[in-house]
Structure 1
Amino acid sequence: MLHVLRRIVLEVSAADNLTSALGIIVRRVRQELDIDVCSVYLSEPGGQRLLLMASEGLNPDSIGLVEMSAGEGLVGLVAERAEPVNLENAPDHPRFKYFPETGEERYHAFLGVPIIHNRRMLGVLVVQQRERRRFDDEHVAFLITLAAQLAGAISHAELIGEVGHRREPAPQKNLQITGIPGAAGVAVGQGVVAYVLADLDSVPDRDAEHVQEEEQAFREALRAVQDELNEIKRRMEGVLPAEELLLFDAYVMMLGSDSLVNGTVDRIRAGSWAPSALRDAVRESTRAFEDMDDPYLSERATDVRDIARRVLMRLQSHVRGPEDFPERTILVGEDVTATQLAEVPTDRLAGVVSSKGTGSSHVAILARAMGVPAVMGVSDLPVGRLEGREIVVDGYRGSLYIQPSPELLEQFKHLQEEEQELAEGLQALAQEPAITQDGCEVPVYANGGLLADIAPSIQSGADGIGLYRTEVPFMIRDRFPGEEEQSEIYREALMSFNPRPVTLRTLDVGGDKALPYFPVVEDNPFLGWRGIRITLDHPEIFLTQLRAMLRASQGLTNLHILFPMISSLGELKDALQLLQRARDELLDEQHVIPLPKVGVMVEVPSAVYLAEALARRVDFLSVGTNDLVQYLLAVDRNNARVADLYNALHPAVLHALAHAARGAHQAGKPISVCGEMAADPASVILLLGMEIDALSVNVASLSRVKWVIRSFSRARARELLTQCMTMEDPAAIRALLNNALVQAGLGGLVRAGKV
């Protein structure tokens, strides 16, 4: 049964449109359960009506015509209850309603299960049989499981149909797809799909610019792969038995098969570029193999995909250059990576849209640092259909609009102009100190991770670097950087800001930050081997980095060192001992090394409750709210399914932050916040009320944060904090703080109303 479920889900996921997907469902379910009728009813927009969209067994003429209200008939009962309804004789039920056009009076047994996706009722899956009977538990379990697994595929197929094909006008204007806010701002531009090379499923739709050239490239790729396979066969003669070598002959024959070659060529001549033409031809070929009951023949689908990937690699020999990106590129992908983001020239990157990830993903953080609007976690996004499409990205609300109408475009362009005016108005303010209305100065530092961040940080008016992510230079190399390399990088950062402080965080990898040459594979990486745990277990790596930091500070006094992921006093003690050892070694080597200030990141719950004890042993504390929120709320910040539960204004988070601030101050030490919460205008008010001593934000947010600080007094912030600490609903807390921003004349930082 699991094998059947998997095959049905795969077939539906590969369907070209909703009609095809629903046809596969009703046909396969009827076949596998050996029943008389299988039908799918889908909710119309608004969820008030249910429409018969596909059926095997009912009158075909009734498809698309039979509709009912969400509470009407037995199908409506399933939708209303959001649970299965299993009846031995459906006509006896008081909610039974007969629709003459379906011819269903012949059927007695009825089983309906709801199709639900992300809490939204998509429709109802129904099976019926002529004889009177209750469907057994196995049938019920099969349909419930199938409906749950198909919900996402049906939602995806709906969107594919609404987006339409590139060569046909999209049937719907202003198609809105909702995800998660990743980086604030709005952008209008042209979709460019970031896809994984040699991955057939990720190839986007694209029109062929020159049909003859595309066909020629495909045929050349075929010949190249045939030659490659023949060469492999020659090399393996004498190594493999003769009967095994026949496999390579079979592969060469597949490359010449009509279904693959003619199927691809026909699609190219119809206007597709070669990679997507190959993709669709392979899907059609493999579907035929997978439908076969013979296990040997069904496995041949794997062989077809394998040789097709080889052809695709040949077709993808051209790497996209900077000039290939449109002037206003909206980068779209299943899981956009930092390297894919970096491939787009910064002057051409207008927005980012990713099917996976959340507002706390590193790509979203990077987008915010670049000032580029981003929408994350758009789980049903038909990525392959968005190449070349005009797209509007609304990073405030986490929405994108495909095929925007001229009227909608005009509204968003007006909003962009307002944003630009606001940014220009704040430029002068960025160079002013951030002093509250009652005279308290709150330094605002910049976050960074590359030397390229230094110049923008200086120009932005930052009071220093509050968080320099030293793992970034490690991540962009293919090996661990040596002590000399690291020292040069750190020296440049320190020199650029001297005498303003530069806080270098020691290597923080693991979790969602992997080094390709030092892989850490774990079932639960965020609760595993990461941060200080790795560096303490590898003192040879840690000491090299500490020595590089200390050497870089010679003749300077602005080095601050920050230890990440500290969860116990023992870890801090061990880290401090290694730091002292590194300094002693350098002193022995006749280096003059000033004693740096040392801090601890508060980003796990245990550190919150140890805040005072930790602060007594170091010079400062710095709260990493991105991880702290995730650990306090048990919400994976990179998981789009639970992203709506990730909320920095959750009462538990506010109480934890207040506790950490009290602990640091009781020990007589300063405490800063360097997570994304420090860049949120509403949260900044509360951090002022908690008497957080400094904030560290991405450069793009710096002027706005300074504006908030200069618009409030500490006393007013404390009043608002007191109110919020008695509240239980994060949404109510957000509304109260947004209202305070508006009253203070900062309405430009609060996005109200929908475009």
Structure 2
Amino acid sequence: MLSTLRRIVQEVGAARDLQTALDVIVRSVSVAMCSDVCSVYLYNEDTNRYTLMASEGLNRQAVGRVTLGRSEGLVGQVGLREEPINLEDAASHPKFRYLKETGEERYRSFLGAPIIHHRRLLGVLVIQQTKQRRFDESEESFLVTMSAQLAGVIAHAEATGSLHFPTSAHERPRQSRFIGVAGAPGIAIGTAVVLAPPADINAVPEKDTDDIELELTLFRQALVSVREMMSATAEKLSGQIPAEEQALFDVYLRMLDDNALGAEIEALIRKGQWAQGALKAVILEHVRHFEMMDDPYLRERATDVRDLGRRVLAALQQQQQDDVAWPDNAIVISEELTPSVLGEVPREKLAGLVSVQGSGNSHVAILARAMGAPTVMGAVDLPWDRMANRELIVDGNLGRVYVSPAPELINQYRSLIDEELAFVEGLESLKDEPCITPDHYRLPLWVNTGLMTDAIRSLDHGAEGVGLYRTEVPFMIRERFPSEKEQEDIYREQLKSFAPRPVTIRTLDIGGDKSLGYFPIKEENPFLGWRGIRVTLDHPEIFLVQIRAMLKASEGLDNLRIMLPMISGVPEVEEALYLIHRAYHEVLSEGVNIQLPPVGVMIEVPAAVYQVREFARRVDFLSIGSNDLTQYILAVDRNNPRVADLYQPYHPAVLHALHKVVTDAHLEGKPVSICGEMAGDPSAAVLLMAMGFDVLSMNATNLPRVKWALRNIPLTDAKVLLDEVLEMDNPRVIRSAMELALRRRGLDKVLGGRSEIN
């Protein structure tokens, strides 16, 4: 049954539309289970009725015509009970309803399983036999498994508007909602633009074209390019590889002929598919056929076909990369958002972001917050590759994406956007005001930056300094390591923009969820592997160039602070300090007139929490990276949407660790800041202030909210709240208690629209 299930799933996945998928299901399940009938009834919430949408065994004329009420017949009972019904003699059941049009009077046994997606009933999958018998447990389990597979297919079809009941073929696509994880706060309404990773045949989005001749031309040009490249490679390797290997190039070239794959792809383009989508459909269909063959040699040819498709796709993408049509309110959707993807988007066109993978605490989500773009991460059920040009609402506050939203919902969200804009504009008056509590406690608010555009936004929001400048961002958007001079120019621009305010520049922090295409780090568990200071100490040539660039950039400004990431022990601190002093003396010897800047360490791993006093005796300041510290204390991968609910910054263990770090740092007379996302959460910021943090550093978007909240809460009240929550043992209760405390003080606006729209 397992191999049969795998084969059916492959066939369904290759289906080009919902009706084809349904036909595959009923035909394949009927054969696999040796049943006389297999049918799919889909439920229409608008009419509260089931429609027979596909059947193998019942009268074909009944498909699309026969309907049943919500509680009518055995199908209705399966849906009401939301569990399988297995009957030896269906006609004897009191709820049996005979439908003459179907011709089902000769079938005695009945097994029906509900099709449910995220607790929502989508339909019922049924098998029937003429023989009077009860289906066994393995058959029942198989049908339940198939209904679960079918649920995702139907939900995706509904989301893309390709699910149409016979009576509603011309209706507006039904509104669909997908649950993800809140990535960056705010609400965006706009048009979807799908971005796919390079040369990934599986990730090509579906898209129609109005210019068939252009797509044909692009495809033919891509074929010419690939043929020339392969011919050149074959000629270059001639005499160096065996003749049978050399013959593979000839096979590839013949597959590209107009009478082979090329003809099939062109035929799909002429039907209105864009070139990349037609290529994907043909290549994957051939791959599937090869993979299902019994002969091992022929199965291996699936790899050849996929490789050929990848080469042609790369050529097509090279031609079409500049042809993306950017609507005014573009909502970028990708299977996995990356910093390089963000770099492709014209900032003036960007309204919001949606990623199928990742969580609200991933690095790209942090960048999205810095950009002020409403973002939803981890929308795992969203059929992202079929979303091109669809109207969307992105709710970054609640982590929701609405596809084809109803006009009423759009109006509700527009009202929320208007309220939020009015509130933010009202906070602009605080730009030049210090963050001072009603009982006169002064707390500096700094910003986290990574892009040059962050500097302008940060200063506009009244930032008093930079608590974290992410140097990995300039590294990520290049195709090689930036030179010392290039880095010096980048850092100089940041330091100059904020002078005389302090700028804390973190040394290169790659690994984990931050990778460089030209310096790949492949590990089974990257977050516990080679990352942060571990990489740069193993490559002192990278570290020294970066430190020299920072020091030279600070000449005449004297506002540089250097920060070391991912420190887990004293030896790392001492080795890094040695290299910093070495670079400092090298720069002095070149005639650069600078002072040795303050050096600090980041507290991001549990080991560092217990060595704060030892670190403090060796460095000038400490800074907590609460994102990683929370991840490591709770053993929760912050990029994994499956465990996103377990990532709780308000967890008692996290709060006690933060409190300990501040206490120990102050015992050694050293200041301590926090530059993780907690600092930008107004309710968390109240607790951080009460703990005694000397600086809070956050993304520029949240700074006005935090300032407004802290200017309206006395330090004495904040300390009372801290004492109360440190006695609590449930992170959700702690968060609720803090939000309630803000609401009682009339500060609910800073919570960023957490109330749900119904």
Give the TM-score category using the shorter length: 0.7 to 0.9
Where 1:279 maps in the other structure, the secondary structure is: helix
Equivalent in the alignment of 1:12: 12
CA deviation vs aligned residue, 1:336-375 (integer Å, no higher than 9, x gap) = 2212211122111111111111111222211211111111
Structure 1 stretch displaced more, 481-490 or 561-570: 481-490
Q: What secondary structure is seen at the aligned counterpart in 2 of 1:392?
A: strand
Question: 2:707 corresponds to which residue?
Answer: 706
Amino acid at match of 2:521: V
Contact 1:672 1:695 in 2 (8 A): yes
Please say which of residues 93-102 and 253-262 is displaced more in the overlay: 93-102
630-639 or 455-464: bigger deviation: 455-464
CA contact (8 A) 1:109 1:135 kept: no
Post-superposition offset of 1:436: 0.9
Please state how far the C-alpha of 1:697 moved relative to its aligned partner.
1.0
Provide closer, same or farther for how the CA distance between residues 296 and 720 of structure 1 changes in structure 2, counting only shifts above 3 A. same
Aligned to 1:200: 201
In the alignment, the residues of structure 1 paired with residue 316 and residue 122 of structure 2 have an alpha-carbon distance, to the nearest angstrom, of 39
Q: What secondary structure does 1:606 align onto?
A: helix
Conserved? CA contact 1:159–1:380, under 8 Å: no
Other structure's SS at 1:316 match: helix
1:27/1:232 Cα in 2 relative to 1: closer, same or farther (>3 Å)? Answer: farther
Cα displacement (A) at 1:741? 2.7
Mapped to 2, the partners of 1:181 and 1:401 lie a distance apart of 14
How far did residue 76 of structure 1 move?
6.6
CA drift at 1:643: 1.7
Equivalent residue number for residue 384 of structure 1: 385
Counterparts of 1:141 and 1:387, CA distance in 2: 37
Tell me which residue corresponds to 1:696.
697
SS state at 1:208 partner: coil
TM-score, normalised relative to structure 1: 0.85
CA distance in 2, matches of 1:651, 1:41: 49
1:465 aligns with 466
Aligned CA distance change for structure 1 residues 498 and 309 (closer, same or farther; 3 Å): closer
- Alpha-carbon shift at residue 441 of structure 1 (Å): 0.8
1:744 maps to a residue whose letter is: R
**Higher mean displacement: 478-487 or 500-509:** 478-487
Say whether residues 1:416 and 2:417 are aligned partners. yes
Tell me by how many angstroms 1:579 deviates.
3.5
Q: Where does 1:98-137 land on structure 2 (aligned, <5 Å)?
A: 98=96, 100-101=98-99, 103=104, 130=131, 135=136
Q: CA RMSD in A?
A: 4.1
Alpha-carbon offset, residue 676 of structure 1: 1.0
Question: What secondary structure does 2:711 align onto?
Answer: helix
Instruction: Answer yes or no: is the 8 Å Cα contact 1:447–1:674 preserved in 2.
Output: yes
AA partner of residue 561 (structure 1): I
Deviation at 1:566, TM superposition (A): 1.8
Counterpart CA distance in 2 for 1:206 and 1:478 is: 30
Q: Which amino acid aligns with 1:530?
A: R
- The Cα of 1:396 is off from its aligned counterpart by 1.3
Q: For the residues of structure 2 that align with 1:104 and 1:503, how far apart are their CA atoms? A: 78
Shift of 1:410: 2.9
Q: Call closer, same or farther: CA 1:258–1:409 in 2, change over 3 Å.
A: farther
1:754 corresponds, among 749, 753, 757, to 757
Partner of 1:539: 540
- Which segment is superposed worse, 331-340 or 282-291? 282-291
Are positions 1:683 and 2:648 aligned together? Answer: no
Gaps of at least 5 residues in structure 2 are: none
Out of 353-362 and 411-420, give the one that drifted further.
411-420
Asked whether the equivalents of residues 290 and 298 of structure 2 are also in contact (C-alpha less than 8 Å), the reply is yes
Aligned pairs, number: 747
Deviations 1:1-57 (A, max 9, x none): 7655444333323333444334334433444455666566777769x9998765555
Please say if residues 198 and 310 of structure 1, whose CA atoms lie closer than 8 Å, have aligned partners that are also in contact: yes
Instruction: Work out the CA distance in 2 between the residues paired with 1:515 and 1:695.
Output: 29
Instruction: For 1:69-148, list aligned pairs within 5 A.
Output: 90=88, 98=96, 100-101=98-99, 103=104, 130=131, 135=136
Give the match for residue 28 of structure 2.
28
TM-aligned CA deviation for residue 224 of structure 1: 5.3
Q: What displacement does 1:675 show?
A: 0.8
SS at match of 1:711: coil
1:272 is aligned to 273
Match of 2:560 in 1: 559
2:625 matches 1:624:
yes
Q: 1:482 to 1:201 in 2, by over 3 A?
A: closer
Which 10-residue stretch deviates more, 213-222 or 561-570?
A: 213-222
Q: Does 1:717 align with 2:732?
A: no
- Secondary structure of the corresponding residue to residue 273 of structure 2: coil
1:128 and 1:482 mapped to 2: Cα distance?
71
Distance 1:115 1:608, change over 3 A: farther
> Contact between 1:604 and 1:627, CA under 8 Å: does it hold in 2?
yes
In 2, the alpha carbon distance for the partners of 1:477 and 1:78 equals: 54
C-alpha displacement at 1:148, in angstroms?
6.7
Which secondary structure state, in structure 2, belongs to the residue aligned with residue 318 of structure 1?
Answer: helix
Kept in 2: contact 1:98–1:104 (CA 8 A): no
For 1:490-639, list aligned pairs within 5 A.
490-583=491-584, 593-639=594-640
Asked if the contact 1:336–1:354 (Cα under 8 Å) also holds between the matched residues in 2, the reply is: yes
CA offset digits 1:215-262 (Å, max 9, x no partner): 344445445555665666666666667666665555455444668455
TM-score, scaled relative to structure 2 = 0.85
Write the letter of the residue equivalent to 1:15. A
Residue 662 of structure 2 is matched in structure 1 by 661
Q: Is 1:156–1:381's contact at 8 Å kept on the other side of the alignment? A: yes
* Structure 1 stretch displaced more, 292-301 or 211-220: 292-301
* AA of the residue aligned to 2:724: Q
Paired AA for residue 400 in structure 1? V
| Equivalent residue, structure 1, for 2:159 | 159
My pick for the range that moved more, 503-512 or 737-746, is 737-746
Indicate if the aligned counterparts of 1:18 and 1:160 stay in contact, CA closer than 8 A.
no
Give 1:280 deviation, angstroms.
3.2
State the distance in 2 between where 1:121 and 1:662 align.
54
Q: Which residue of 1 aligns with 2:435?
A: 434
Same amino acid, percent of matched pairs: 49
Check 1:576–1:117 CA distance in 2 against 1; reply closer, same or farther (3 A cut).
farther
Deviates more, 1:250-259 or 1:553-562: 250-259
Q: Could you say if the C-alpha distance between residues 629 and 53 of structure 1 is closer, same or farther in structure 2, counting changes exceeding 3 Å? A: farther
Aligned counterparts of 2:93 and 2:529: Cα–Cα separation in 1: 54
Inter-CA distance 590–222: structure 2 relative to 1 (3 Å threshold):
closer
Q: Is the 8 A contact 1:58 1:104 kept in 2?
A: no
* Structure 1: distance between partners of 2:274 and 2:204: 10
Offset, 1:462: 0.9
* Offset from partner CA, 1:561-598 (integer Å, 9 cap, x none): 22211223343344334434444555677765534323
Please say if residues 90 and 109 of structure 2, whose CA atoms lie closer than 8 Å, have aligned partners that are also in contact. Answer: no
Q: 1:183: which partner in 2?
A: 184
2:348 partner SS: coil
Do the aligned partners of 2:193 and 2:331 also contact (CA within 8 Å) in 1?
Answer: yes
Q: Cα deviations across residues 495-543 of structure 1 (Å, max 9, x unaligned)?
A: 4433322212122111111122322111010111111222233334333
Residue 651 and residue 57 in structure 1: after superposition, are their counterparts in 2 closer, same or farther (change >3 A)? farther
Q: Map 1:39-438 onto structure 2 (within 5 A).
A: 56=56, 90=88, 98=96, 100-101=98-99, 103=104, 130=131, 135=136, 152=152, 155-161=155-161, 171-222=172-223, 225=226, 247-248=248-249, 250-256=251-257, 260-261=261-262, 263-287=264-288, 300-321=301-322, 324-438=325-439
SS at match of 2:319: coil
CA deviations on 1:166-213 (whole Å, 9 max, x unpaired) are xx9675343322221111111222211111343333333333232333
Pair 1:77–1:722, CA change in 2 (3 A): farther
> Are 1:74 and 1:96, in contact at CA under 8 Å, matched by a contact in 2?
no
CA distance in 2, matches of 1:575, 1:95: 78
Q: How far apart in 2 are the matches of 1:93 and 1:686?
A: 66
CA distance in 2, matches of 1:722, 1:592: 49
